[in-house]
Amino acid sequence: EIVLTQSPATLSLSPGEPATLSCRASQSIGSDLAWCQQKPGQAPRLLIYAAGTRATDIPARFSGSGSGTEFTLSISSLQSEDFAVYFCQQYNKWPLTFGGGTKVEIK
């Protein structure tokens, strides 16, 4: 199965700062990668699919890039509502797998 490794585990930043999150796949998955945001007690929310396409109603400050084995989620300027856990998901090979998550916390 494909292992997705996210880094860093925790990112401590201040509002207004940019954030860069990484997701590395154990083998090539093309562009078959999605990013989701998860907050306590809430449903996970899809942000990005196909590595770089924003989902409906997702603000432009969120962007995704990468292909093959290296992927990045960027947040251009952190807003208060962006402090959460972010995870990646690959859908190139079965079984579907997820990264361990990156927690973006307020510094």
Partner 1 sequence: QVQLVESGGGVVQPGRSLRLSCAASGFTLGNYGMHWVRQAPGKGLEWVAVMSYDEDDHFYTDSVKGRFTVSRDNSKNTLYLEMNSLRTEDTAVYYCAKVPGYNFWDYMDVWGKGTTVTVSS
- How far apart CA 98 and CA 55 sit, in angstroms, is 18
Q: What is the CA radius of gyration of the chain?
A: 13
DSSP H or E stretch at residue 8:
none
Q: Which residue in the set 24, 30, 44, 61 belongs to the binding site for partner 1 (CB under 8 A)? A: 44
Site string for partner 1, 2-41 (x = CB under 8 A): ------------------------------x-x-x----x
58 sits near partner 1 (criterion: CB under 8 A)? no
- How far apart CA 45 and CA 48 sit, in angstroms, is 10
Binding site residues, partner 1, CB under 8 A? 32, 34, 36, 41-46, 49, 55, 87, 89, 91, 94-101
